[in-house]
Amino acid sequence: MTTPDWIAIDWGTTHLRAWAMTSSGTVLQTALSDRGMGALARDAFEDTLHDLVGGWGCTGPMIACGMVGSRQGWVEVPYATTPCPPLGDGLANAPSDRMDVRIISGLKQQHPADVMRGEETQIMGFLSLNPGWDGVICLPGTHTKWAHLSAGEVVSFQTCMTGEMFALLADRSVLRHSIGPGWDDKAFETGVSDAIAKPESLAARLFNLRANDLVNGQDPGSARARLSGLLIGAELAAARPYWLGQSVAVVGAGPLVKIYTAALSAQGVPVIQADGDRATLAGLTAAYRRMKGIS
């Protein structure tokens, strides 16, 4: 294969992905590994990356985003402080004699305290694919991020642990006995609207998913959809200042984008959808181009 000019790297808690790139932005090859930050000691990052992409023969820069830059990562890269552009403080070098690896700094917000690592690159990518876009970006996931963008800057952002809460409640709490495979759009929608209409009732509605099985034999797939709806509804209640009267871009993949879009649309919010992987690569490409002085 053609020798890549640079390599784009997305290195999160549970995965490592790399793209062999030309300077003009063509993808020559991709590689995927399950050796995420969470599975690696600090001295294992260099070998792990070399094992994955060393064979590509790239002598140019490798640009990485994600938890690889966290305290538990390869090297801790300080956060840039909002309000600032998504690639706020540029790139920090990872310690390596064999490879030229630069890591994108995450973002932090002082009040209320919040942090992100990796999503700033997706935000940058979305902006580079949609120049001049002002509004709100929602990045659903384990920790969903809401970011308010204006004039190319992240003005503020907010994290909700909705994905992690869903996994804990559905797989590890007493609700697991009453939740099963399957889905029910109507149960999801009702969960969202119940939670938005009366967010103060959430604490009482969760155990109801267990009791409704014991008392009324509720369907396990409906229970799963309703739990998702209640938690996303509670998130929308908490994120109301982010979406009320705004245009929202939901950036991500698969069913999560679909259900967040459904939940927002039900509130009358105009939503556009964008692919999360494409945004990540576009953000890493933007960081490369900025480093090279390519405007």
- The residue ranges that bind a copy of itself (CB under 8 A) are 71, 79, 108-110, 112-115, 143, 158-162, 164-165, 168-169, 172-175, 199-208, 210-212, 214-216, 231, 234-235, 237-240
Cβ proximity to a copy of itself: between 104 and 169 the closer is: 169
Measured distance CA(179)–CA(224) in Å, rounded: 5
| Biggest alpha carbon–alpha carbon distance for the chain | 66
Q: Which is nearer to a copy of itself, 4 or 191 (CB)?
A: 191
Least separation in angstroms between CB 136 and a copy of itself: 14
Beta strands in the chain (DSSP E): 6-11, 16-21, 27-33, 62-65, 80-81, 91-93, 101-104, 107-109, 114-116, 135-139, 144-150, 153-160, 248-252, 271-275
For residue 146, the minimal CB distance to a copy of itself (Å) is: 9
Query: In terms of CB distance, is 16 or 165 closer to a copy of itself?
Result: 165
**Distance of closest approach, residue 163 Cβ to a copy of itself, in angstroms:** 11
- Separation between Cα atoms, residue 53 and residue 57, nearest integer Å: 8
Residue closer to a copy of itself by CB (options 129, 237) is 237
Whether the bond between 112 and the residue before it is cis, its omega within 30 degrees of 0, is: yes
Give 61 or 163: the residue with its C-beta nearer to a copy of itself.
163
- The nearest distance, CB 111 to a copy of itself, in angstroms, is 9
Shortest distance, CB of residue 47 to a copy of itself, whole angstroms? 26
10 Å CB burial of residue 221 (0-12, 13-18, 19+) is middle
